[in-house]
Amino acid sequence: MTPSNPNLETTIDDFAPLAAEQRRQQLSRPSLSYWQDAWIRLRANRRAILSLYIVIALLLFTLLGPLLWRVDPSAQDLDQVSRPPGAERMITLAAPYRSWNGEAVLPTATGLRLAYPASTQSVRLIWDPAPGAAAYRVYRNIVPTLPGESLGLPIAQTLTGTETRYEDRLDLRAETYFYTVVALDETGAELTARQALSVDPVAVITVAEARSRGLQSASGPLKIGDKVRFKLHPLGTDYLGRDMLARLMHGARVSLFIGIVAPLLFVGFGVAYGSMAGFLGGRVDQIMMRFADFVIALPFLLFMILFKIAFGIGPGQSGILPMIVALVMLSWPGTARLVRGQILQVREEGYVNAARLLGARTNYLVMRHMIPNTMGVILVTLTFAVPSAIFTEAFLSFIGMGVAPPTPSWGGMSNEGIKSMLIHPHELLFPAVLISITVLAFNLLGDGLRDALDAKMRSRE
């Protein structure tokens, strides 16, 4: 049977169903699920991938760091306070400190002189009595004293004119000090008589202190006069001589924990709340969303502070939990609104209606359309919520309302560091840089995710 003109003649056979395999669409490219597609697009975004690596590195730093760098973050070492990275670590061992009764072991001389060799344990000064002195004032300077200029730090004042010695123990370091002793008259006015001396104390610690810190010398057991090397602090130490690296790692646990857990919780709650409102619709939706509007209207930082003090931090607690609770209580409505909007929108989309007409079950609709179409928005919200939570923690710690001491956090460490910004920049620099890197990485990752997951929210690059 061969029709002469196929365009004109049709037979009943033409209306017979075709073989099943021919109905299958021919796909020119491999089939990709939504997530595979998103992943490919994310991978193409160099910045986002770099941020992803940074986030992974930060998590490793937080989780594995303390296992590799086994230094106690709360161990204090008052001999190594506020050391920058790479500071001198050699130190001489000395006898334990004994109080001083005015005797001298160094050969006598005149003027202001040392009674004992000067060390960072103490500088013992003796001077000649000045005629007419009712008392003496001792000054210490770190720059050579110039005539007519300030004599430096008034470190002490004797109570009588017969007391002609002073023991300086205040924060001594291995640097040159310029001492001046000035005689005072009865009214406390300075007389012209003054004696001066420059002193270079030797950095020392006692054998017991060295032993308690586990220091070892190259030549067998520790003995007085030996030189030993302090333990390494790669990023220096803080204001109580605690290891910065260990504190940064433990601080990361707090900052990242708050930064990740709080957003997870409030986004989770927001999703549940928003989708419930979206699904139920009608009056319930109205009431639920009105309540969300109320919560959104609360001034965020003011209420963070209010809640923080209302919950209170008990003895020994870190205050992480109250902060997370406060963050969750105040931050969920944003996500709830977003998700509800998304659900309402998707519900009315043509393809959802089509699927429903084709007999798709609710489960299928939720799994195939609702979730993928809202997941993107949720994931993006979550990524952007992390930096803002980290900033909030840092800010609260900065005004002294953050986590309680001695728990380290990056914000709290920056707050302490800012006080000594000029003399010990490393104490501010490291925590602040970590905050910045984290915030930046999550922001860029959020951008990348948004571009990859949500065609409608895509920014053009």
Scanning 9-17, 123-131, 301-309, 365-373 for contacts with another protein by CB under 8 A, the matching segment is: 301-309
**What x/- string results for residues 187 through 206 when contact with another protein is judged by CB under 8 A?**
xx------------------
| Nearer to another protein among residue 275 and residue 407 (C-beta) | 407
Q: How far is the CB of 13 from another protein (least distance, A)?
A: 49
Which residues 277-296 are close enough to bind another protein by CB under 8 A? 293-294
List the alpha helices (DSSP H) in 115-205: none
Binders of another protein among residues 400 to 429 (CB under 8 A) are 400-401, 404-406, 411, 414-416, 418-424, 428
Q: Which of residues 327-386 bind another protein (CB under 8 A)?
A: none
**Integer Cα distance of 251 and 409 in angstroms:** 4
DSSP state of 84: P
Residue selected from 306, 321, 354, 367 as contacting another protein according to rule CB under 8 A: 306
The rounded Cα 327 to chain-centroid distance in angstroms is 18
**323 touches 263 (CB < 8 A):** no
Per rule CB under 8 A, count of chain residues that contact another protein? 79
Q: Output 87 or 367, the one with its CB closest to another protein.
A: 87
Nearest to another protein of 260, 370 (CB atom)? 260
- Residue among 109, 287, 309, 321 that touches another protein (CB under 8 A): 309
Rounded-to-integer distance, Cα 132 and Cα 291, Å: 81
Provide, rounded to whole angstroms, the least separation between the CB of residue 74 and another protein: 6
Handedness of CA 260, 261, 262, 268 (dihedral sign): positive
Between 292 and 370, whose beta carbon lies closer to another protein?
Answer: 292
Q: Could you say which of 10, 40, 106, 150 contacts another protein (CB under 8 A)?
A: 150
Q: Taking the complex as a whole, how short is the minimal distance between the CB of residue 63 and another protein, in angstroms? A: 23
Of 1, 302, 357, 455, the one binding another protein by CB under 8 A: 302
Give yes or no for residue 116 binding another protein (CB under 8 A): no
Q: What is the dihedral of CA 327, 333, 339, 341, to 10 degrees?
A: -160
User: How far does the chain reach from its first CA to its final CA, in angstroms?
Assistant: 61
For residue 243, the minimal CB distance to another protein (Å) is: 13
State the nearest-atom distance from the C-beta of 64 to another protein, in Å. 24
Closer Cβ to another protein, 274 or 417, answer by number: 417
d(CA 218, CA 92): 13
| Residues 68-87, interacting with another protein (CB under 8 A) | 74-76, 78, 81
Tell me the closest approach of the beta carbon of residue 183 to another protein, in angstroms: 18
How far apart CA 113 and CA 100 sit, in angstroms, is 15
User: Which member of 25, 101, 110, 459 binds another protein (CB under 8 A)?
Assistant: 459
Q: For 220, which DSSP code?
A: S
Stretch that binds another protein, among 8-16, 336-344, 372-380, 437-445 (CB under 8 A): 437-445
**Least separation, in Å, of the C-beta of 316 and another protein?**
3
100 lies in the binding site for another protein (CB under 8 A): no
| Nearer to another protein (CB atom), residue 369 or residue 450 | 450
Q: What are the CB-based long-range contacts (under 8 Å, 24+) for 410-414? A: 410/248, 410/251, 410/252, 410/254, 410/255, 410/434, 410/435, 411/255, 411/435, 412/251, 413/238, 413/247, 413/248, 413/251
Q: How far apart are CA 327 and CA 300, in angstroms?
A: 9
Residues 222-281 binding another protein (CB under 8 A) are 239-240
What is the C-alpha to C-alpha distance for residues 367 and 372, in angstroms, rounded to an integer?
Answer: 7
CA distance 415 to 437: 18
CB of 379 to another protein, least distance (A): 19
Which of 275/335 has CB closer to another protein? 335
Q: Which of 40, 87, 153, 280 binds another protein (CB under 8 A)?
A: 153
Q: 105: which 2 tokens?
A: 């072991």
Is the distance from CB of 204 to CB of 119 less than 8 angstroms? Answer: yes
Residue 361: is it exposed, middle or buried by C-beta count within 10 angstroms (0-12/13-18/19+)?
exposed
Burial class of residue 241 in the structure, from the number of CB atoms within 10 Å of its CB (0-12 exposed, 13-18 middle, 19+ buried) = middle
State in angstroms the smallest separation of the CB of 444 from another protein: 9
Cα–Cα distance for residue pair 409/402, rounded to 1 Å: 9
Residue 440 binds another protein (CB under 8 A): yes
Interface with another protein (CB under 8 A), residue from 221, 315, 350, 359 = 315
